[in-house]
Amino acid sequence: MSLIGTIIAFAVSVAVAVVVAAGLSTQFVLAELAALGATITMEQRISTTIHDIVGMAGLYGAIIAVGFLIAFLVAGFMARRTGSRAIVFAVAGATSIAVAIGTMMYLFEATPIAAARTPLGFGSQILAGAFGGWIFTLMTPAAD
């Protein structure tokens, strides 16, 4: 695969992870508001989700991109040795999100990703990273 193709696959995997992570984060926050008695319409869910994806894309996207870059370099090395590309890259994506959120929690004693403040929400962010890693494997052929 060409370098340009790999860069495009990387950008798409980051974008997918950001959209899924931000979208899930929004739904967790809206669920908490609904649990407090707020009425949230489908239109509000959609508009809030779009707003949050756009708002989180810049900084969270950069954080995910740096994490994916490091994790995918290691994953490429590991995948050649294990033959389990999809699993290795999904674990790499998941791990990079866990490390990023863990680092933010350590540095700031809180995470700016509201959903990641609960175990289920944290898991949803990790799942978004795994999905991004898996998308990367779909878009890139295995190296010989």
User: Which pLDDT value is given to residue 143?
Assistant: 64
Dist CA 9 CA 56 (whole Å): 21
Q: Average pLDDT per run of 10 along the chain, which is 144 residues long?
A: 91 97 95 94 96 94 97 94 92 97 90 88 96 96 67
SS3 83: coil
CA 64-94-117 angle, to 5 degrees, is 80
Domain boundaries, the chain: 3-139
HSE at residue 56, side-chain half, CA atoms within 13 A, is 26
Residue recorded with tokens 């707003």 = 51
Neighbours of 119 (CB within 10 A): 8
User: Which pLDDT value is given to residue 144?
Assistant: 47
